Chains A and B, each alone.
Chain A
Amino acid sequence: MGSPKPDFWAILQTLSRHEVDFIVVGGVCAVLHGAPVSTFDIDIVHARTENNLERLVKALGELDASYREHPAGRIQPTKSSMSTTGHHLLVTSAGPLDLLGTVTGGRAYEDLISQTLELTLNDDLTVRILELPMLITLKEEMGREKDRAVLPILRRTLDEKQKGGE
């Protein structure tokens, strides 16, 4: 069996239908802001409250999620595992999904929420994404080569948005 093809819409719609509180970060966030970059997975920071973790685990069950690094063992994420600050690199029926308990600087969902905006993608789907300046800040702080590589594109996208009055 081949790897599931990434379907960003399916992942976002499933999380939304289960009313999971989450923030889209990373490459998909950059694209939604208008940055011409590519990515094969979707990164989200989830709220780690009791109720949200219950909704999240149900959504992950529907997506048939399991940890990518254990393909043979099919280790599935649990409410307990999702409650940690770590990164959960999953594969789902709609492709790779990275769930981040926290991001650089130990920032959790609650720390980031004030620097997010809501985007309506269609009648049934509204998602919360990181504001572009904050995404740039996180990439700068992470400082990995792959983050540095995309920074010029993110900065120029921000410039063009500001020139355009967005």
Chain B
Amino acid sequence: MNHATSSSPRKVAYSDDGVDLTLIRWMLSLSPAERLHVLQNNVQSLLRLRDGIPKT
């Protein structure tokens, strides 16, 4: 069963195989350069969490 988003009843939030389509749509709204920045920031955040280093 698909799950509709509250803001857009015609668009489903998850695919039948459980993928969060809202994340995909958000990523597709970005330029490729912005997508790479998202990845870069995510990786740095995860490493900070792993190392226990607060952001300065």
Which of these, B19, B21, B39, B47, contacts A8 with CB under 8 Å? B39
A152 close to B17 (CB less than 8 A)? yes
A6 within 8 A of B: yes
Using known A-B contacts A8-B40, A153-B24, A160-B28, determine if residue A31 contacts B35 with beta carbons closer than 8 Å: yes
Interface hits, A127-166 → B, CB 8 Å: 152-153, 156-157, 159-161, 164, 166
A8 close to B20 (CB less than 8 A)? no
A128 CB to nearest B CB, Å: 12
Interface size of B by CB at 8 A reads 26
A75 within 8 A of B: no
Dominant secondary structure at the B interface:
helix
B24 close to A121 (CB less than 8 A)? no
Interface hits, A1-58 → B, CB 8 Å: 2, 5-9, 27-28, 31-32, 34-36, 38-40
A contact residues around B36 at 8 Å (CB): 8-9, 28, 31-32, 121
B contact residues around A153 at 8 Å (CB): 19, 24
B50 CB to nearest A CB, Å: 11
Taken together as a complex, chains A and B put the C-alpha atoms of A7 and B42 apart, in Å, by 12
B contact residues around A40 at 8 Å (CB): 43
Taken together as a complex, chains A and B put the C-alpha atoms of A34 and B39 apart, in Å, by 10
Which of these, B24, B33, B42, B47, contacts A35 with CB under 8 Å? B24
A156 close to B40 (CB less than 8 A)? no
Q: Which interface residue of A27, A28, A36 has the most chain B CB atoms within 10 A?
A: A36
A contact residues around B15 at 8 Å (CB): 152, 156, 159
B52 within 8 A of A: no
Using known A-B contacts A7-B40, A152-B18, determine if residue A32 contacts B28 with beta carbons closer than 8 Å: no
B contact residues around A7 at 8 Å (CB): 40
Which of these, B19, B38, B39, contacts A152 with CB under 8 Å? B19
B30 within 8 A of A: yes
B5 within 8 A of A: no
Give me the interface of B with A, judged by CB distance under 8 Å: 15, 17-21, 23-28, 30, 32-33, 35-36, 38-40, 42-44, 46-47, 51
